[in-house]
Every structure is written in structure tokens, then in C-alpha cells.
Structure 1
Amino acid sequence: MKLIGIEEHFLTPEIKDAWSAIGLGASDPSVAFHGGPLEKRLTDLSEERLALMDETGLDVQVLSLTTPSLHDLGPGSLDLARRANNALAEAIARHPDRFQALATLPVAMPDEAALELERCVRTLGFKGTMLCGRVGHRNLDHADLLPVFQSAAALKAPVLLHPRAPDKAVRDAYYSGFSPQIDAAFSCFGLGWHYDAGIQFLRLVLAGHFDRFPDLQVILGHWGELVLFYAERIANMDRATGLKHTMMTYFRRNLYVTASGMFLPHYLEQAARIVGHDRLLFSTDYPYQYRTGGDARRFLENCGLETSDRQAFAHGNWERLTGNMS
């Protein structure tokens, strides 16, 4: 059974240098997480990555630039994005059966980002894009960023919403007071950035993006970035939103959910209960959640799904989602 991981990350030395050039590490603690052995795995798009894919049982990786992507870079991010996307296209050409890609966008320039997404989809054959939360101080629902979502909807290109570190004021208020190491872990991969990603999705719903673009499809990792576990409470907002549909309708019509290496069957069951089995996607969150010994394949085989649902989870839902892109 073909197994496609749709949230598998990469990084280029050029982009890491661009983060350093603007001192991004001082405002985003996640920048420090990409060194050492992780950096080696992130930057490799060849034999070592393929060997580790084989070891865990993954047939295809859908490659995406790791957080915080280009969201805090200015006009220079356009050339960075194009070079990163061209490098991915070259990697795919070398291994067309093993790699796919999500576009890296210069989101600080939304009009140019929309055009770059179109180039990536129509010329390079990419499968969508990934956004990492706020763009500078703008949430993703900000009116300035509408061209990006308009382009994604027109192309029928899914948008993966990836976590990033919360704003410094939020980190200081809720995630500080321990050691610098604990503060960084607590505000990022421990909890903070998952709340941030889930909130970005809810902001898109509440801002009416899915009424404006009813075909827009968004993906949340880590089994829905906490949102699905509070779906019943979130549904209570129906009385206040003034939207065309209920919150649960947007969950079931516009949201896909992926595992991100969290191989827990009861999380899968909750996600399926809210969005349906036809909206579950597989991923390992390489290299952050990477584990040896056939772990990805073993989870698929023991996740509790019937054969048809397991095939959909492994590859069928992704292929259907990306099969009608224009």
C-alpha cells in the first residue's frame, strides 16, 4: 500500500542565512531548533533522505520549507522563494516517484506570492503551498493576504497551515518564567505553536474566507492543532458568527487533517469523527518526529481502519485532493 507523507520538511542554507541576517532568532525561538543533525537532514534532498524514508516505510514525501519559512523576510524573499522552489523541482525531477512539493511563497508580498503559487502549480507541478501562521504582525486572515487565498482557491491548491512561534507578547504573557530552554520549548513545540496554528485556521473561518472561497481547502497538522478536540465548544460560536454555514460545516467541507508523526489511534478516531475518514492525510513531520524501525508503516497497519479507509488515509485522500488542481 503506497504511503505518502504530506508534511515533510526541508531547509536551504541560503534561507537559514537569511534568517540570521535579520536576527530572526531574537524574536522567534524556533530558529534555533534547526541546527546540528536536524539541519543535515533538512538540507539533504537526496540519498540519506531516501534511505530514511525507506527505513520508516514512507514511499513519497511532499516537501515543504520548515517554519518560520519566509514570513518575516521582505522583498528579498521573492528571489529566495523562487530559488527554493526551483531546487525542489530539480529534486523531484531526480526522484519523481519519491518526492512531491508544496510551494514556498514570499508572503510578505501577497500579489507576488499569488503569482509564484500559480507558477509552482502550473509550471512546476507542485501540489499546493504551506503557510506558517502570521506574516510579520498580520494574522493570515488580514485583508492584505487575500490574493494568496484567492490564488489557492482558483488553482484548487490546498494550503497547509503550519505552526510557528506565537508573538513575543503572547510568549511573555503565557509561556515565560522558566529557563530560556523551557520557555522556548513550551511556547513552540510543547504547546504554543499548536494553539497558534489552530487559531489561524479559526480566524480564516470567522473572517469569512470559506464563504468567500467555498472551494478553498486547508490542512492542519498534528491531528487538527487542538481545534478538533474542542469542536463541540467551537460550534457554540454559530450563534454569533453571522456566517453562511455552521462551524462544523467548514470543518467537514474545507478542512483536512494530518498526523504529523503523532501515531496515536485515538487521535485518529477523534479526527475522523469530526472531519470524516475522507479528510484524513498521512504524514511523519520529517525530520522532527522521525523514528526508526518501520514506524510509519507499522502505524498504518495497526491504526484500526478498515482496508478502504486505510488506503484513503495512506494515499487516496491526498491523490483525490490534488488530482483536480488547475
Structure 2
Amino acid sequence: MKIDAFCHMLPEEYAKRLFAIDDSPVARNVQKRVSGVPALVDMDLRFRIMDEFGPNYRQIINTAAPPLEDLGPVDRTVELARIANDGMAELVDAHPDRFAGFCAAVSLDDVDAAITEANRAFDELGAVGVQIYTHHHGGPMDQEKFFPFYEAVAKRGNKMIQVHPCRDSSWADYKTEERSKFEIWWTLGWEYDLSAFMSRLVFAGIFERLPDIKILIHHGGAMIPHFAGRVGPGWDQLGSRTPDSMAEDIAGYPLTQRPIEYFKKFYVDTAYFGAGDSMRTAIKFFGVGQTLFGSDSPFDPEKGPGYIRSTIKNLEEMDIITDADRDAIYSGNVVDLLGLTEKVSV
């Protein structure tokens, strides 16, 4: 069994609404990108792609970026969340042999509405988690106003929060410029965003305050495992580089462990796009038990199967894990994490 824990799609009605938006630059940009990835909306094509990986390959689905908050006023984004979740639930119910579950869309412009929609998705639609992004209108996700949302998901026990990056070309590479060039905002910026998100939540005490929270970070934990020396011994010296006049910059929640130990509490996927050495480093850092098979399909150059195939190849060739470890990464961890035993029986 292989359960691909981080795959994107656009349910039919949600896609129609998305393509009808004409007053949002973000929507226009995603309309262009999505039109070149037909497996996001064409389920017949998607199923043919999935067939390459056998009858025991299934996906946990979510809506493709951008964040709902970037698609217009709050009443529209709250409605879009409901439409997306209804559509994903219908697909999961209709094709249990293809989809092991879905992570709900929410609009955090209205935190109370987001909690209500997440609970509806869990209780009425069977969602296994929710997807959020690394920013909210460019602002950090450790703001206190979001903690009721984190708490609402954490108390559900076997539900996870998937985290996806979301910066665009308006985030310049240098202070002297107005836009990012050469898609640096995507190639490197998204990995910085994920790493900054993790860091801000760690120092906000997310795992101290909500020890039961389950957060899945896309792209294998981004930069964190590859800079373990700076995250470890470097952050053990927190404050040594900050003048007294800027003490508020390092004033966080009182932590009882080294910062690096909290980073290891995140779950991560294997969406490394074929970079096996990077995946190896992430697995060594986070551990087999915190690693879920995830491909980021269908955003590969083949528009569907490429990243699935390369991720499986990396895992099959990796000599630091056992066959039992591979089984855990492919499906065992996510089944245990989300209580999927009945849904994924062969």
C-alpha cells in the first residue's frame, strides 16, 4: 500500500468558480498555471496516471494553491472553502479505491468561520485534516489570533494540518528591487517560507501549548534538516547575536527543550522531486516515524506521474532504511496518524 499524503486537485465546481473570478490578480495567475495541468481537474486522466503505480496506490488530496484568502473578499473565500470541501468529499466517497481522504480548505480571513468549516469538514464530510499556508496576506502564522484555529484542530486528535508555501514574485530577492527574478521566489523562496513558518511556531511554543497538534510540512521540512547545525548549536545561542535594544525580537514562549527538538516534532513528506540525497537527510533528521510518503503530484514536468515515480525510486534505493521503514513511510505512518485503517484495507 502506498498512500500519497500530499497531492493537489481542483474539484469541478470549485474549478468553475475559480476560473470565473476576474477581479483578482492572484486568481488570474493561477488560472494560467492550472490550465497547463489538466490532471488537476480531469479525473479520467488522473486515474490513468495513477494506474501506473498499481491498485494499492491512493492519494490524500487538497486544493491547489493559492490560499483562498488571496481570491477576494471574505464572503467569497468562505463560500469557496465550502464548495471545495464538498467537491473533494464527493470524490473521496465515490472513489475510495483512489483517494484515502482529503484535507479541507479554509479561509483564515475569518478564524471563527475557518474553525466552523474545519469542524463541518471533519464531522459531516470525513476530512482527515486541513490545509493552510505559510502566510496570511503576507503576515506570520504565529499571530495569537490563529491559535484558536490550531487548538480546534489539535483537540480533534487524529486530524492533521498540512502546510503549503505561498509567496509570489512580489517578494523581491533584494531590498533594492521590486520583484523576484528567475522564479527565485518559487525555487528558493517557498523553502524559506516553510522554514520560517516552522521557526515562528516553534518559538511561539506551539508544541508546548498544544502537544497533540499534528503538522505536516510540505517539501520534506524544507531547509531545516539541511541546516541542522544552525538550527541546533546555532539556536542554542539564541540572543548572542541580538543587541539589548532589540531584545523584543527574541522574546518568545518559554521553551523547556532545545529549539532543535521541537522541529523534530513536525511531520514531513517526501516531496523532494527526485532529489534522493536531500530526502535521505530529511529522513535522518526527522526520523522514519515522522515521515509520510508525499509526491506533490501533479506539478511535475510530466503533469502527473513524474514526481510519484521519482519519489518511489528514491525510497526503494535508499540504503539507510529497512523494508519495514519503507512500509511505514509509504502508508503505516499516515494510517496510524489519521486512523485510516478501515479506509485503506486492501
Check whether TM > 0.5.
yes
TM-fit CA distance, 1:133: 1.6
Q: Structure 1 residue 158: deviation in Å?
A: 1.3
Paired residue type of 1:23: P
- In 2: Cα distance, 1:132 partner to 1:19 partner: 21
Equivalent position SS for 1:129: strand
Alignment gaps of 5+ in structure 1: none
Q: What secondary structure does 2:75 align onto?
A: coil
Letter in 1 for 2:317: N
Say yes or no: does 1:301 pair with 2:316: yes
Tell me if structure 1 keeps the 8 A contact 2:18–2:31: no
- In 2, the alpha carbon distance for the partners of 1:43 and 1:212 equals 39
* Worse overlay, 202-211 or 69-78: 69-78
Distance of aligned partners of 1:25 and 1:112 in 2 relative to their CA distance in 1, 3 Å threshold: closer
Does the alignment pair 1:265 with 2:276?
yes
Q: State the distance in 1 between where 2:175 and 2:47 align.
A: 40
Which amino acid in 1 is paired with 2:268? V
Q: TM-score, normalised by structure 1?
A: 0.87
Cα separation, 2, equivalents of 1:248 and 1:275: 10
1:117 aligned partner: 118
Structure ranking higher in helix proportion: 1
Whether contact under 8 Å (1:195, 1:226) holds in the other structure is yes
CA distance in 2, matches of 1:166, 1:234: 26
Structure 1 residues 9-88: aligned runs within 5 Å: 9-11=8-10, 12-17=14-19, 20-24=22-26, 31=30, 34-38=33-37, 40-44=38-42, 46-56=43-53, 59-72=57-70, 73=72, 74-88=74-88
Distance in 2, Cα, partners of 1:224 & 1:15: 32
Aligned to 2:344: none
Cα 1:147–1:91 change in 2 (3 A) is: same
Give the equivalent residue in structure 2 for 1:246.
258
The whole-number CA distance in structure 1 between the counterparts of 2:305 and 2:88 is 24
> Does the Cα contact within 8 Å between 1:75 and 1:108 map onto a contact in 2?
no
Find the counterpart in structure 2 of residue 200 from structure 1.
197
SS class of match (1:263): coil
CA distance in 2, matches of 1:18, 1:209: 38
C-alpha contact (below 8 Å) 1:88/1:101 kept by paired residues = yes
Greater RCO (CA < 8 Å, at least 6 residues apart): 1
- Aligned residue for 2:108, secondary structure, equals coil
Maintained 8 Å contact 2:78/2:113: yes
Report how far residue 225 of structure 1 moved: 1.1
SS at match of 2:68: coil
Shift of 1:128: 0.8
Q: Work out the CA distance in 1 between the residues paired with 2:8 and 2:51.
A: 16
Letter in 2 for 1:271: A
Whole-Å separation in 1 of the counterparts to 2:318 and 2:126: 31
Alignment length (residue pairs): 313
Q: Which runs of 5+ in 2 are unaligned?
A: 239-251, 342-346
One-letter amino acid of the counterpart of residue 266, structure 2: L
Instruction: Describe the shift of the 1:80–1:248 C-alpha distance in structure 2 as closer, same or farther (beyond 3 A).
Output: same
Given that 1:101 and 1:128 are in contact with CA atoms closer than 8 Å, whether structure 2 keeps it comes out as: yes
1:285 aligns with 2:287: no
For the residues of structure 2 that align with 1:36 and 1:173, how far apart are their CA atoms?
31
Per-residue CA deviations over 1:92-130 (Å, capped at 9, x if unaligned) read 111012111001001111111112111212221111111
Alignment partner of 1:103: what SS?
A: strand
Checking the alignment, whether the CA contact within 8 Å between 2:271 and 2:311 is kept in structure 1 is no
**SS in structure 2 at match of 1:71:** helix
Shift in alpha-carbon separation, 1:207–1:66, aligned structure 2, 3 A: same
Could you say what the CA RMSD is over the residues aligned between the two structures, in angstroms?
2.6
Corresponding residue number in structure 1 for 2:6: 7
Q: Indicate the SS of the match to 1:21.
A: coil
Which residue identity does 1:243 align to in structure 2? L
Higher Cα radius of gyration: 2
* C-alpha distance 301-142 of structure 1, shift in aligned 2 (>3 A): same
Q: CA deviation at 1:19?
A: 5.5
Query: Shift in Å at residue 160 of structure 1?
Result: 1.4
Contact 1:281/1:317, CA 8 A, preserved across alignment: yes
For 2:116, give the aligned amino acid: L
Once residues 15 and 301 of structure 1 are traced to their aligned partners in structure 2, the CA distance between those partners, rounded to angstroms, is: 40
Secondary structure class of the residue paired with 2:69: coil
| 3-state DSSP of counterpart to 1:164 | coil
Q: Contact 2:173/2:185 (CA < 8 Å) preserved in 1?
A: no
Residue identity over aligned pairs, in percent, reads 26
1:80-99 correspondence runs (5 A)? 80-99=80-99
Match of 1:135 in 2: 136
TM-score (norm 2): 0.82
Q: Distance in 1 between matches of 2:261 and 2:197?
A: 18
Per-residue deviation at 1:222? Answer: 1.6
Does residue 183 of structure 2 align to residue 185 of structure 1? yes
